[in-house]
Chain A
Amino acid sequence: MLTLVNIGKTYPNGVRALGGVSMNVAPGEVVAVVGGSGSGKSTMLRVVSGLDRPTFGRVMLDGAEITAPHEKIGIVFQEPRLLPWLSVADNVGFGLADRPKLEREQRVASQVDRVGLADKAKVWPRELSGGQAQRVAIARALVTRPEVLLLDEPFSALDAFTRVDLQDHLLDLWTDLKPTLVVVTHDVDEAIVLADRVVVLRPRPGRIQEEIVTDLPRPRDRQSAAFDFAKRRVLAALDRSLERQVTADAPETKTSAGAALWW
């Protein structure tokens, strides 16, 4: 169980990024965090990962406080952040340096295979496409079998086709070991495709506006009415988080206004 206990973060320059966020994430649950700019969603993820310390509050994982990066918590950033001087396989095995060579090679090979890049294992990261590079980054985070995988706008730099492809791929990978996923995104479709629950943050400072349960049966059909309904609920919550006027009788206008903002 991952627990955020009233975490807040004020940066040294006085910016209040997070103003007290509390939530529980069950093991194996997929939670999406959405919010406008300044809602502190990336800050929240960095605090949960242990990369940044909160100004107040605590992050608990299985009863232990997280104060620094933890072996049970993996993270995938918006950019792949691969090490250009290591081959794809060595990048994937970066977090396994302390394991015996044989075990490391086996786990790397199976993980590289699992993300569909077995033929790229020996190439340099610079020879990969954006989508391939992000697959390697996901493989690198999953190869250590974390209990929690944090993803900070993982697919926002990719084109629309690759993005949909990788969303499905991430869910496919998730079924292996069912880690807890916390995905920060500004793409409402992505949130609903991936998550059991969407947490909408309100900006300046970031707090939880509301939570929307989106536990549609998997695999999710992006064209279905249920998907569209969930999307409207999230967009409406986003509108409320920005304290924008919402006219209840014009759902189409509302959706497109939201869409303009979130894409």
Chain B
Amino acid sequence: MSAVGMSASVEQATETAASTRAGRDRFARWAGPILGLVLPVGLAAGWEIAVHAGLSDGRLVPPPSRVFAQFAELAQTGELYRHVVATLLRVVFGFAFGTLAGTLLGAVAGYSSLIRRLVDPTLQGLRAVPSIAWIPLFILWLGIFETSKVALIAVGVFFPVYLGVMAAIMSVDRKVVEVGRVFRLSGPAMVRRILLPAVFPAYVISLRAGLGLGWMFVIAAEFMGASEGLGYLLIDGQQLGKPAEIVAAIVAFAVLGKLTDTLVASAAAPFLRWEDAFASRHGEA
């Protein structure tokens, strides 16, 4: 089966190569994505061929076909779904709480220099603590189940969001705020019509950074003892000597991380069209 899959992919590759030679325009449009795929696909295909040629038994470094088979098995038994849902829920809740706290504290610290001087040094100090160091404390305080895991993820999400919001508010152009003053905007109107749109692009970037850390922290959280989740799958694969399971879990992390990041980015995109207009205009030039 894997040999068939391999020859099919080789066929595909030659086909793609032929068509890129055929049309210059199409080449120009697809060249970027295809160039990006050359390295990972090439390495995977190379390893697949090496294992099939008997150069390695692929026991410690499983070839793509074996990882795929592991994936299919996990999916068929419903295990994959269970682990993905468990991990996803933890990230979603941790992200939600971390974002909420980071946004609120970042906003007041960015807005009021008094509050900034009051809370920022403490938060910066806490930020310097490696996140893993919180785990024992969180387990003592919050138990070994979901609460402590969500709390750890929330801590990870909190700092990039807090810093991003605070920096964004502090760097709002005074000149644009003055336009609001000239038109006699009330406090809430100033926030809604000037400050929020002005900080939004930086806010989206900090949300995406926070989400990335959330995915990082969910693994740490699941390492500290979980009965399900992709992190559990990693540990399980290590203890039972199943590298294919570990790689399958890693691939699942990559796919989920990329998907959720795209989700956040595309949810924000309608509000950032004015930035796109700028980028595309310069892209054309």
Contacts and interface: CB of A to CB of B under 8 A. Distances in A.
A124 B197 contact: no
Contacts of B200: 85
A69 B175 contact: no
A77 interface: yes
A77 B274 contact: no
Interface stretch (B92-100, B101-109, B178-186): B178-186
A22 to B, nearest CB: 24
B277 interface: yes
B69 interface: no
A81 B175 contact: yes
B107 to A, nearest CB: 18
A95 B194 CA distance: 13
Given A77-B178, A83-B179, 7 more contacts: A51-B182, A69-B181, A71-B184, A74-B182, A83-B197, A124-B277, A127-B277
Interface of A is mostly: loop
8 closest residue pairs by CB, A with B: A85-B197, A95-B183, A124-B274, A126-B278, A124-B277, A85-B274, A69-B182, A81-B179
Given A77-B175, A79-B175, A84 B182 contact: no
A136 interface: no
Contacts of B277: 123-124, 126-127
28 contacts: A49-B182, A51-B181, A51-B182, A69-B181, A70-B184, A71-B184, A74-B182, A75-B182, A77-B175, A77-B178, A81-B178, A81-B179, A83-B194, A83-B197, A84-B274, A85-B198, A86-B197, A86-B274, A94-B179, A94-B183, A97-B189, A123-B277, A124-B278, A125-B274, A126-B278, A127-B277, A127-B281, A144-B183
Contacts of A79: 175
Interface residues on B, range: 20 to 34
B75 interface: no
A68 interface: yes
Interface of A: 49, 51, 68-71, 74-75, 77, 79, 81, 83-86, 94-95, 97, 123-127, 144
B176 interface: yes
A126 B285 CA distance: 14
Interface of B: 175-176, 178-179, 181-184, 189, 193-194, 197-198, 200, 271, 273-274, 277-278, 281
Residue among A49, A68, A77, A126 having the largest count of chain B Cβ atoms under 10 Å: A126
Contact of A83 (B176, B273, B281): B176
Nearest to B179: A81
Nearest to A49: B182
A89 to B, nearest CB: 13
A125 B197 CA distance: 15
A74 B179 CA distance: 10
A25 B168 CA distance: 42
A32 B273 CA distance: 40
Contacts of B197: 83, 85-86
Contacts of B175: 77, 79, 81
Contacts of B184: 68-71
A94 B176 CA distance: 12
B274 A126 contact: yes
Contacts of B189: 97
A94 B281 CA distance: 25
B182 to A, nearest CB: 5
Nearest to B178: A51
A81 B182 CA distance: 12
Contacts of B178: 51, 77, 81
A124 B275 CA distance: 9
Contacts of B271: 85
A67 to B, nearest CB: 12
B204 to A, nearest CB: 13
A239 to B, nearest CB: 33
A206 B281 CA distance: 45
A114 B235 CA distance: 70
A197 to B, nearest CB: 25
Nearest to A144: B183
Nearest to B184: A69
A187 to B, nearest CB: 22
Contacts of B183: 69, 94-95, 144
Contacts of B278: 124, 126-127
Residue among A51, A86, A94, A123 having the largest count of chain B Cβ atoms under 10 Å: A94
